[in-house]
A and B are shown apart, each in its own frame.
Chain A
Amino acid sequence: MAENIIFYGSSIALAAIGLLIALTRRNLIKIIIGLDLMETGVNMFLISIGYRRGGTAPIFDIPLSKAVDPVPQALVLTAIVIGVAVTALALTFAVRIHEKYGTLDISKLREMKW
């Protein structure tokens, strides 16, 4: 029961913190950090879905019953790589925006107002 709260709770908390940061901060870099935290929370959540008590990595020098679920791990492997690519791209956008407008504060970018 304790693992339940630790793994699910911390991953949900991480995602919520990331979402809060992404929504409330005005600095573009901090927004990107928030998105990254959110992604980490989701990845942790997916990994902990495959949890088994006393289990270990699904590599076969162990008995079958001890292997954790391999599918979420494969999914998260994909998600991490995509996440790195997206973060690098987002940071490049931030660099370009800073070059054009001289600020990273999104409230000062008048074109983004609605």
Chain B
Amino acid sequence: MIKKAFLILLVAFTGYVFFVAASARPFGSPRVVVSKRYLEKGLNETGSQNIVTSVVVLYRGFDTLGEVTVLFLAATALAALISGFPFERKERTEPSLVMSTASRYLFPLILLFGAYIFVHGHLTPGGGFPGGVVIASGFLLMFLAFRKYRVSEGGLIVTEGLAGFFYVLIGLIGLYLLGSFLASFLPPGRLHTLLSGGIIPLIYILIGFKVGSEMTGILRSLKGEDENG
């Protein structure tokens, strides 16, 4: 009984918190100062057509570095927790010919699409994180279609480590040249073209590789790679 009372109280309190937040900023009210500034000056300051990208990579770049670190930590903790788990498979059937043939042809296309998403992060919706996840989904398809499909752990670790290393290195170059970490030391370039946005494409390519290899690593550990099943 007391449990139920607590439950109702907690849910009501959560609703109240949301309600206060909603009434503090009524729906569709004018923009706050910071987003107004991003919208007005962002295009010329960063050269990135996609303002969300310039907020994520440049204005709040340090935060994104932290986010990548959290993802890395979670992937590492997952691998440490799951290692040595006795995966047992009940289904021993091979996937059908249609499935395996289709996946073999789809796989490179999915990788290409993922690369397209993270290369064009400053022009179109998307960026390093969705691009990396699309790439990992390509690997998931291969894991499903071929029971013998292997991804080398060393390759994943090297890709992830190098991407993280170059991310920090780009940040340090910005610190050295312009006096602030992750500052955009490249020129903004010609607006609305692929070669624009300063260091945003570089960083998003690195994030794409990093997220792709981390997510593939997560899938690989959840699949139980070390078992010969």
Contact = CB atoms under 8 A, between A and B. Distances in A.
Contact of B10 (A23, A49, A78, A92): A23
Contact of A71 (B26, B35, B218): B35
Given A8-B22, A71-B38, A96-B81, A59 B50 contact: yes
Contacts of A85: 70-71, 73-75
B167 interface: no
B39 A58 contact: yes
Interface string B8-20: 0011001100110
A43 interface: no
Interface in A10-69: 11-12, 15-16, 19-20, 23-24, 45, 48-53, 57-61, 64, 67, 69
B55 A70 contact: yes
A6 B154 CA distance: 48
B148 to A, nearest CB: 23
A67 to B, nearest CB: 6
B28 A52 contact: yes
B71 A60 contact: no
A57 B19 CA distance: 26
Given A59-B50, A69-B35, A95-B85, A45 B77 contact: no
B51 interface: yes
Contact of B43 (A49, A60, A74, A78): A60
A45 B7 contact: no
A77 interface: yes
A92 B81 contact: yes
Contacts of B60: 74
Contact of B51 (A4, A8, A16, A67): A67
Chain B CB count within 10 A is highest, among A12, A58, A93, for: A58
A99 B84 CA distance: 12
A49 B63 CA distance: 21
Contacts of B124: 59
A61 B192 contact: yes
Contacts of A74: 52, 55-56, 60
Contacts of A91: 222
Contacts of B149: none
Given A59-B124, A60-B51, A15 B75 contact: no
Contact of A82 (B7, B32, B56, B71): B71
Given A58-B50, A59-B124, A92-B78, 13 more contacts: A3-B28, A48-B27, A53-B28, A59-B51, A64-B40, A70-B38, A74-B52, A78-B56, A89-B77, A89-B78, A91-B222, A92-B222, A96-B85
Interface of B: 7, 10-11, 14-15, 18-19, 21-22, 25-28, 31-32, 34-35, 38-40, 42-43, 49-52, 55-56, 60, 63-64, 67, 70-71, 73-75, 77-78, 81-82, 85-86, 123-125, 127, 129, 133, 192, 211, 218, 222
19 contacts: A3-B28, A4-B27, A19-B11, A58-B51, A58-B52, A60-B50, A67-B51, A69-B35, A71-B35, A74-B56, A77-B127, A77-B129, A84-B133, A88-B75, A92-B77, A92-B81, A93-B81, A95-B85, A96-B82
